[in-house]
A and B are shown apart, each in its own frame.
Chain A
């Protein structure tokens, strides 16, 4: 028996407070301060570059309604169109993959994640190659086959919405299929047993139970679409169709930069999105999801008979449109001297890749992105692990506040957060604007929610008694951490690392504002190349970026599959 030392007191609480308070302050500094700067600037009616502002007023907000009415209309029309498409696609695919006996269901379900990892930027570039007027591959083939004029024009409001739906709407599929999966099949079976027909059951039981999930997904996706940037940037600017995100971006490019205008638009967008997400959360919290029992069921699937193959074709078509065709088009383009779908006219070359890897700015951008990905993921995971421990494992005062702060960047559109960071750090006495340090700090801040959530998922899976047992066995806190907690958390930590790495390499919304001439990163450079150089070089760069992400993704998949196998 070990001799207990006299007077242990409740000393624990003191040093715990000494940790939480600084952590709370640092996180608040990173997360909230930029938004405060943004708010102040949005009220600046004097010289937009002056800090602190010399005059305050609401002129910037008023200007939005007077001069940018078209932008607001465009934003709403595109977001509504994209949301409708995303929800219809998501609902159809979710229903096919969870409720029918479509062949190859498990594999198809895994493929459904791919469009999300393709990124909307790469998707937009690919569809620019596929469906631009005249030079687009579809239109080339249409004329080659004897057609007249253009079959498709991606440079339109519908085109932007289409790309947004394909590459950012996957979340609708994920949410709706989750709602369908979490429904206890007994709910439907009991209706059937009582004597309801298949159709009646579908209309009176299934649909009402799934509906809240669909509505929630719609609200969530709509909020996302309002803040969507990449497709609107790549397609909208050449098409001269401006939405609110591109309008914000555009006003910072004018001379002098209209930061006040941009801030007002950004905040307005933030408020609208925040309201929508709150509405979504309220719907979930209200428990209208009677279907959600926390358990995942494998719902009884319907035997579709001969219809199974057409349903398979629907899923396959989605994969073709969102993954196969875009990648094939980019690959073909990147290997050609001049982009063409007609292989007889193609001149194949590796020059684009050579150029992409040899061109100074491109090479440094790629290297910087990789460096940032490695650095932010490594340091970020350590800090986030500490945060997760504070939020979910300690009994410290104020951990609720820490959790709220950490999740806050999720509610701010990425682009708006970028603008806020730009303005904050332009005026902060710490001279890191235009350096990789600021980008690293910004990446860390915007990736707090995804990193903390991934890590928390693993932490919560690890039963508390596993740690308590170590203490009972006589292990001190550090020994327990080293021998029990960390080894158990390892797979989750690696997964979080990879997710942050991928998100860093593809980051666009924050990077466009914070990139300096000496601190270029890859995603904005791809956009720049699309605007100034040929599509062939851009395609090569986009593929190099995609390739990097895919490698990380493959490791992640292998790892998570290994994890699930180990746990079962």
Chain B
């Protein structure tokens, strides 16, 4: 990909805090108008990476370019200060300035850029309209609820028409209901304005829901990059399978490849033979396949892996029912819609298709 196609290019980025390496050789690109999410558990280096793009952290190694312009280069010792990078950011704590009004907060980036007052008020109003906060423009920022502060932070970040907006867990301080609402709104806003965004979250559901592409990180390195569907359906390794969504991991060893498109034979430890999909070239060290809990069906299906089992536990969650099932592959977790309940103790047949049985990298 050439620089002109990508808005942000991060390559070989490493960031250290004293002895600790927070980010270790991270490379990725973000296309124009793309919404990319950095997903990972706390301490995986996702926020540090984001802050490095903004110029708030100084990397030890690597380069960062935005719009083809080198913002940071460790070898050339080039480090463009934050205020000259032209990016915008929404902070986890919102960072709404309590000594200003809502309007003062939103207009800040425009005042810094010395906009004429007519243009300034037009842009402020537009930004406030986008987050439905115009009626509160003159309210002191210290008198806002959490959700309102969130909106002000958002309006402030987009008011000066930045091309890149960085989001640092912007929804993590909101309650679940509001979070779901804001998620939708954010996605809508992002499409409407065509901005490029990098979003950081530890909430896998959020990451899958709002991103064009997801970058899964763990202990400072990238585990997998892909669309939400790719990440969910084709997890590369145990960490991704485990951290994103819920999956059953079945141990065993790889058998012979079967003719049709990446399908292989997999000998599970219990002796059962499964047909599985290998999304990558076989290396030989693979010992696990992953099956999403939602992709296992109860009952026989043609052309799928079949395993007999017994229902040990049934838990009603509302949106789904979770079964714990004893079977030759071990204990499997199965999530089914809350229709056609199966009773505890009942003997059943499980089936899942080979394309949902993913061989993980060793």
In Å, the complex CA distance between A1 and B65 comes to 13
Q: Are A463 and B95 in contact (CB under 8 A)?
A: yes
| Across-interface contacts of B91 in A (CB, < 8 A) | 465, 468-469
Q: Are B109 and A474 in contact (CB under 8 A)?
A: yes
Q: Which residue on A lies nearest to B104, using beta carbons? A: A483
Q: Are A2 and B86 in contact (CB under 8 A)?
A: yes
Known: A4-B71, A8-B79, A9-B78. A466 touches B108 (CB 8 A): no
| Across-interface contacts of A9 in B (CB, < 8 A) | 77-79
**Residues 1-16 of A at the B interface (beta carbon under 8 Å):** 1-10
| Across-interface contacts of B112 in A (CB, < 8 A) | 473-475, 479
Q: Does B198 have its Cβ within 8 Å of any Cβ on chain A?
A: no
Q: Are B108 and A473 in contact (CB under 8 A)?
A: yes
Q: Does A104 have its Cβ within 8 Å of any Cβ on chain B?
A: no
Tell which of B78, B83, B166 touches A6, judged by Cβ atoms closer than 8 Å. Answer: B78
- Smallest distance from the beta carbon of B56 to chain A beta carbons, Å? 5
Q: Does B93 have its Cβ within 8 Å of any Cβ on chain A?
A: yes
Q: Are A468 and B79 in contact (CB under 8 A)?
A: no
In Å, the complex CA distance between A463 and B93 comes to 8
Q: Are A1 and B98 in contact (CB under 8 A)?
A: no
**Residues 84-129 of B at the A interface (beta carbon under 8 Å):** 84-89, 91-93, 95, 97-99, 108-109, 112-113
In Å, the complex CA distance between A410 and B312 comes to 67
Most buried by B among A5, A9, A473: A473
**Residues 142-184 of B at the A interface (beta carbon under 8 Å):** 142, 156, 160, 163, 166
Q: Are A2 and B97 in contact (CB under 8 A)?
A: no
Chain B interface SS verdict (over half): loop
Contact with B along A520-534 (1 / 0, CB 8 A): 000000000000000
Most buried by B among A3, A7, A474, A476: A474
Q: Does B205 have its Cβ within 8 Å of any Cβ on chain A?
A: no
Known: A463-B95, A466-B95. A483 touches B82 (CB 8 A): no
Q: Are B86 and A473 in contact (CB under 8 A)?
A: no
Taking residues whose C-beta sits less than 8 angstroms from the other chain, chain A's interface range is 20 to 34
In Å, the complex CA distance between A360 and B99 comes to 47
Q: Which residue on A lies nearest to B94, using beta carbons? A: A465
Q: Are A471 and B82 in contact (CB under 8 A)?
A: yes
- Smallest distance from the beta carbon of A564 to chain B beta carbons, Å? 12
- Smallest distance from the beta carbon of A7 to chain B beta carbons, Å? 6
Q: Which residue on A lies nearest to B153, using beta carbons? A: A469
Q: Are A4 and B80 in contact (CB under 8 A)?
A: yes
Known: A9-B78, A465-B95, A488-B98. A470 touches B88 (CB 8 A): no
Interface contacts (Cβ under 8 Å), in number, total: 90
In Å, the complex CA distance between A449 and B95 comes to 30
Q: Are A488 and B99 in contact (CB under 8 A)?
A: yes
Q: Does B67 have its Cβ within 8 Å of any Cβ on chain A?
A: yes
Q: Are A472 and B160 in contact (CB under 8 A)?
A: no
Q: Are A470 and B108 in contact (CB under 8 A)?
A: yes
In Å, the complex CA distance between A133 and B321 comes to 87
| Across-interface contacts of A479 in B (CB, < 8 A) | 112
Contact with A along B292-324 (1 / 0, CB 8 A): 000000000000000000000000000000000
Known: A465-B93, A484-B97. A10 touches B58 (CB 8 A): yes
Tell which of A1, A7, A466, A567 touches B78, judged by Cβ atoms closer than 8 Å. Answer: A7
Tell which of A474, A476, A567 touches B160, judged by Cβ atoms closer than 8 Å. Answer: A474
- Smallest distance from the beta carbon of B345 to chain A beta carbons, Å? 37
Q: Are A475 and B108 in contact (CB under 8 A)?
A: yes
Q: Does A487 have its Cβ within 8 Å of any Cβ on chain B?
A: yes
Q: Does B81 have its Cβ within 8 Å of any Cβ on chain A?
A: yes
| Across-interface contacts of B84 in A (CB, < 8 A) | 2-5, 474
Q: Does B69 have its Cβ within 8 Å of any Cβ on chain A?
A: yes
Most buried by A among B88, B92, B95, B160: B95
In Å, the complex CA distance between A9 and B163 comes to 25
Q: Which residue on A lies nearest to B56, using beta carbons? A: A468
Q: Does B360 have its Cβ within 8 Å of any Cβ on chain A?
A: no
Q: Does A566 have its Cβ within 8 Å of any Cβ on chain B?
A: yes
Q: Are A473 and B156 in contact (CB under 8 A)?
A: yes
| Across-interface contacts of A3 in B (CB, < 8 A) | 84
- Smallest distance from the beta carbon of B59 to chain A beta carbons, Å? 11
Q: Are A566 and B89 in contact (CB under 8 A)?
A: no
Q: Are B78 and A469 in contact (CB under 8 A)?
A: no
Q: Does B54 have its Cβ within 8 Å of any Cβ on chain A?
A: yes
In Å, the complex CA distance between A465 and B82 comes to 13
Q: Which residue on B lies nearest to A470, using beta carbons? A: B108
Tell which of B83, B88, B89, B142 touches A476, judged by Cβ atoms closer than 8 Å. Answer: B83
Q: Which residue on B lies nearest to A3, using beta carbons? A: B84
Q: Are B82 and A468 in contact (CB under 8 A)?
A: yes
In Å, the complex CA distance between A475 and B89 comes to 13
User: Taking beta carbons and an 8 Å cutoff, which residues of B are in contact with A?
Assistant: 54-56, 58, 67, 69, 71, 76-89, 91-93, 95, 97-99, 108-109, 112-113, 142, 156, 160, 163, 166
Q: Which 6 pairs show the lowest CB-CB distances between chains A and B? A: A473-B109, A1-B86, A4-B80, A465-B95, A469-B95, A471-B82
19 A–B contact pairs at CB < 8 A? A1-B86, A2-B86, A7-B76, A8-B78, A9-B77, A10-B58, A463-B93, A468-B82, A469-B89, A469-B97, A472-B83, A472-B88, A472-B89, A473-B88, A473-B109, A474-B112, A474-B113, A487-B99, A567-B98
